[in-house]
Copies of this chain bind each other. A is one copy, B any other.
Amino acid sequence: MAEATAPTRRARSGGGAARRAARSAVQIECAKYIERKIPNYEVLDEAALTIIESNAEVVLEEIGVNFTGNPQSLERWRQAGADVQGERVRFPKGMVRDLCKTAPAQFTQHARNPDRNVVIGGTNLVTAPVYGPPFVRDAEGGRRYATMADFQKFVKLGYMSKYLHHSGGTVCEPTDVPVNKRHLDMLLAHMTLSDKPFMGSVTEPSRAQDCVEMCEILFGKAFVQENTVMTSLININSPLTFDETMMGALEVYAKNNQAAIISPFIVGGAMAPVSVTATLTQVLAEVMVGIAYSQLIRPGAPVIFGTFVTSIDMNSGAPTFGTPEASQILYGAGQLARRLGLPYRSGGGLCGSKLPDAQAAYETANTLNAGLLGGVNFMLHACGWLEGGLVASFEKFVMDADQLGTLDKMAQGVAVDENAQALDALREVGPGGHYLGCAHTQANFKEAFWRSDLLDYKPFETWSDEGARDTASLATARVAKLLGDYTPPPLDPEIKARLDSYVAEKKASMPDAFG
């Protein structure tokens, strides 16, 4: 599939109320997605890659995978030429890889504000927030079950975060809303409180369909069929199992030309062997099957090669993050994805710590750095992740979002033009001088160095007088500031009203379900 191009759409911000909102809105800075001008880092040589690819074919041919509770999928595989025995599907050598070939190398996910469109694939990096935690934590309220109010705050923070390109999906689980209605409120929040691209629901095929319909209200029906407006997370039930819920959601999205991240979720040593090479083998086999299945549904449907692998503490069984093995898998899977010519999802601000402390930051920085250098195209969990993904942390959200600026700057690479060579500055200053006042510095200092919006750069005495605050305390203040400054992006009130009605009617049509 050639990269989709956005047709010109009528302005959706029309109407007096929207114009008034636009006038009074605080100017929100939002950086374009990252276009790397730096090389990828690779840990596997050609021999290792060949072994892994060859072993993945052995897994697919000899062991196969299970498609559970989904007779239709088994029939599809049978027709495609696979060997189906019960729910087990085995594949002739090369078949799955061949099916992956119709998947696009990159695609545009449209946002309702075209300036926020993201191109996923190639050398690009798109960042999205944490996904899935049932708990939230902040300094004031501690750790508690997440609510819809928390969810909305996170969407607002995401909208206000310059280096976050994507509003994400289940930023936290709004546990105060019945499980069968959550997706409606969540999507409504992404659509109305932010103008960045977002993810759809995957917890039931019917909920995926609701998301498609809400997008048809927001973007127009024809636009949705021709363009990708959602990227959703389809987890594989590792090892080697594809369940009916996730595959059902995948079917809905692929049919509608909406993007899916096909992603094993692996705690190393439990859901894959205790070896980087064998885990990569399993990941490759699993992802290729998922992508091939999406292409059986609709050839050309946009997909992302996903990899989520943690290591494990063999003493306690706890998943561990920011570890060398996790980085090696991230780097290796990126190489495998690029050899398939597919966009790659991995990385993020992963950590196991209970608090937004030094452990959280070491583990997060290890993962963010690997994600940048490992060629990740879609970085889910880029900010806000805490406690192995059980908790969405308000403080860590803004801490990580600030660090994403370092990835942006690093990715720009090193300029070597005449201005960057600065020979005149070297001549002007000479031995023993200083550069603070020289002409080159005056002309360039504003853009020269990345600067944190959060971290402390003050002299010790000032910092001490101001309360000797640690990073988490500075983050608490920043969360309050950003939420205080927040104003929603303009949205056509008619569309807003139709979305509200859709959600209200859908919710009224169903009994509440929890759990």
Contact = CB atoms under 8 A, between A and B. Distances in A.
Interface in A222-273: 237, 239-241, 268-273
A209 interface: no
A115 B313 CA distance: 30
A320 B406 CA distance: 12
Contacts of A472: 357-358
Given A320-B457, A362-B365, A433-B239, A421 B38 contact: no
A55 B421 contact: yes
B449 A414 contact: no
User: How many copies altogether?
Assistant: 2
A150 interface: no
A22 interface: no
A366 B362 CA distance: 9
B356 A440 contact: no
Interface string A37-51: 011011110011001
Contact of A471 (B313, B358, B435): B358
Contact of A409 (B39, B325, B364, B435): B325
A403 to B, nearest CB: 6
A299 interface: no
B55 A328 contact: no
A88 B433 CA distance: 13
Interface string A272-286: 111111100110000
B327 A410 contact: yes
Given A41-B373, A399-B358, A456-B359, A277 B451 contact: no
B274 A416 contact: no
Given A277-B414, A332-B414, A448 B325 contact: yes
Given A365-B366, A390-B460, A414-B328, A444 B55 contact: no
Contacts of A318: 457-459
B241 A432 contact: yes
A355 to B, nearest CB: 5
A24 interface: no
Interface stretch (A58-66, A476-484, A499-507): A58-66
24 contacts: A43-B414, A58-B423, A59-B423, A240-B430, A269-B435, A269-B436, A269-B441, A270-B436, A271-B435, A273-B422, A274-B449, A275-B448, A277-B414, A277-B422, A313-B449, A314-B445, A314-B448, A316-B459, A322-B406, A325-B450, A359-B471, A361-B361, A362-B399, A369-B369
Interface of A: 38-39, 41-44, 47-48, 51-52, 55, 58-59, 62-66, 68, 88, 143, 237, 239-241, 268-278, 281-282, 311-318, 320, 322-325, 327-328, 332, 352-366, 369-370, 373, 387, 390, 399, 403, 406-407, 409-410, 413-416, 419-423, 425-427, 429-436, 438, 440-441, 444-446, 448-452, 455-460, 463-464, 468, 470-472
Given A38-B43, A273-B440, A311-B450, 7 more contacts: A271-B435, A273-B438, A278-B420, A282-B426, A323-B450, A324-B407, A364-B365
